[in-house]
Chains A and B, each alone.
Chain A
Amino acid sequence: MARTIVYRSLYAVLLLIAASFLVFYGMRLAPGDVAEVLASHPTGQMTVERIREDLGLNRPVFVQYGTYMRELLSGNLGVSLVTGEPISEILRTSASYTLRLAVLAFLLSIGLAIPLGALAAWKRNSLFDQGTMLIAVIGMGIPNFFLAVLLIQLFTVRLGWLPVAGYETPKHIIMPALVLAAEALAINLRVVRSSVLEELGRDYVRTLKAKGLSNRRILWLHVLRNSLPPVIALAGIMMRTLLGYTLIVETIFRWPGLGYQLVNAVLKRDYTVAQTLAILLTAAVIIFNALADLLQQWADPRTRGKAGA
């Protein structure tokens, strides 16, 4: 297990270096740069060339990347090119919003998918099973931006129960969390159901019945425990997808998280903010993947303790 952790961490670090460079370079490939934005400001006095020189934008991209990463790793995230606000400050406020939203959506999707999916498998072909799977199909079929519109139409326009956008009250998180959770819930439901179904057909289930155990213990302890590895594997991927979707969902609901800030920074060509947020999001994804891998190995006693497996 220790060796697996070392290998997996090394791999994550390499991936992080490659990804951060791609983000950094990608920002500079987009047409138009921040110097033009700043120089076009009505009160601005400086020429485009002067601004480029000041910001070091005229130097080779590798040099810029090296300088940037050195500062980033020493904890200096820099300031916004547009507003002058320290990026650490933007990060401090927006990260907690995104974390709250993503964690809630994640817990919602897993917390509902495991009991509902397992029960659907246990009562396969029943009305309950068919109903659950119908929800799953709908959840996977509807794009989240469209689901957001439907929910706003229902809960805000028709019923007037929930605010349309913003972040001021606890009610504001409900719709974004639901929209963010929908697809993950749908996929998790299907994976839990099929995994539980597969386990229910195994020989050991008959042994458990022959031992005189209750159905409750057989399903919720033994079968569920054996059904988890694929669910855990998926949870890592799910967390990554959720983080990606925050860009869309936060923008729709004006939820001031990392995704919302990132989209705004890109639109304003605010390089420093955009690339730092993008790199940090990438890092979060890579770390989640590594953790999910390790968790999955631990979950199966047969692969536990095998190096490099």
Chain B
Amino acid sequence: MTAMVPTADIDSGSGTAPLLQVRDLVTSIKGRKSDVAAVDHVSFSVSRGEIFGVVGESGCGKSMTALSILRLIPVNAAITGGAILFDGVDLTTLNERAMRSIRGNRISMVFQEPMTALDPSFTVGTQITEVIHAHSNVSKAEARERAAQMLDRLGITNAASRLDSYPHQFSGGMRQRVMMALALVMNPQLLIADEPTTALDVTIQAQILDLIAELRRDMGLSVLLITHNLGVVHEIADRVAVMYAGEVVEIGPVQQIFANPQHPYTQGLLRSMPYLTDRQDRLYVIPGRVPELRAMPSGCRFAARCRNRIPICTQRHPQLVENEPRHALRCFNPTPYVD
């Protein structure tokens, strides 16, 4: 494992205490011989009313980071280091009961698969009202009323009668709205959205993204948006962390990162995006593959695939360093971005 120097806590610079602070989080997966860190000393913070994006390829640890915050990681994984401060309380120290009272109430999560993430055997009304009943003491009629209002708020017509429909009677986009309704019905402070639009048609994607932006504006919601899609981040996020092989490699405001990406991996991601405006002969592909978790190189994890590689890259592990205000990266040899 690499040197454990605390990573810089790069926040939004708003001055007030952030709603969520993830500090040096390590989430390990138990292996036969030894444990491997799927999330390796990850730090970031999300301010009140901020949309914070986390991007990276599949397997980079972004979903595991999200699941760690709600402590919903698989049974073969464990949080082995760091702290997750939510509104001043370290979530990693709470017991299961206290954690349950936060899930769905103060922190909610929506998942990628609107087709399978809802229970097929219960009406959407039951699935929304049971969140209300789990976290507050209200009558059945009142819970139903609130569920209907929430569905209506999220753009489902005839909300009151749709409460009695089953998930399979909704389209994919509508189901994602139902998912959002049951995530937002308790008026949470933080919404964790794990690839919320990946399984949807582009037109529906845009609607859901608009909806998230609108909810942030109207409800003061903070959003942690997990995605592999840079376009989505560019669309609605304020700041973004780019993850590679379990680590944050670049973090900063979205405008800065898109205008002036510093890390060769971020640059590679941007270069490999297709553009509608001019037709490229070939899409750019970052050569090589992500290293295996159990065979992590001791130097820079991206070195083997990097076009800027210099000798030190394979010898020492780079730290996350702030190179301009609120913008940090993990690289020995950054170069300006050339498209």
Contact = CB atoms under 8 A, between A and B. Distances in A.
Contact of B135 (A204, A209, A212, A222): A212
A203 B117 contact: yes
Contacts, number: 70
Contacts of B134: 211-214, 217
Interface residues of A, number: 19
Among B108, B120, B182: residue with most chain A CB under 10 A? B120
Given A210-B103, A213-B134, A301 B111 contact: no
A91 to B, nearest CB: 41
Nearest to B113: A203
Contact of B72 (A210, A214, A225, A301): A210
A301 B170 CA distance: 14
A226 B179 contact: no
Interface in B160-181: 166, 168, 179
Counting chain B residues whose Cβ lies within 8 A of the other chain, the interface size class is 20 to 34
Contact of B118 (A207, A212, A302): A207
Contacts of B104: 210-213
B240 interface: no
A206 interface: yes
Contact of A206 (B111, B131, B166): B111
Given A203-B113, A204-B116, A210 B121 contact: no
Contacts of B117: 203-204, 206-207
B105 interface: yes
Contact of B120 (A208, A213, A302): A302
A241 to B, nearest CB: 28
Contacts of A300: 121
Main secondary structure of the interface of A (DSSP, over half): helix
B119 A212 contact: no
A211 B103 contact: yes
A202 interface: yes
A209 B121 contact: no
Nearest to B114: A203
Contacts of B102: 212
Contacts of A222: 119, 121-122
Interface in B272-312: none
A157 B131 CA distance: 57
A212 B105 contact: yes
Interface of B: 70, 72, 100-105, 108-109, 111, 113, 116-122, 130-131, 134-135, 166, 168, 179, 182-183
Given A207-B119, A212-B101, 16 more contacts: A203-B111, A203-B113, A203-B116, A209-B72, A210-B111, A211-B104, A211-B182, A212-B105, A212-B131, A212-B135, A213-B100, A222-B122, A301-B121, A301-B166, A301-B168, A302-B166
29 contacts: A203-B116, A204-B116, A204-B117, A204-B119, A206-B72, A207-B111, A207-B117, A207-B118, A207-B119, A207-B182, A208-B119, A209-B72, A209-B103, A210-B70, A210-B108, A210-B109, A211-B131, A212-B100, A212-B102, A212-B135, A213-B104, A214-B100, A217-B134, A222-B121, A222-B122, A226-B121, A300-B121, A301-B121, A301-B166
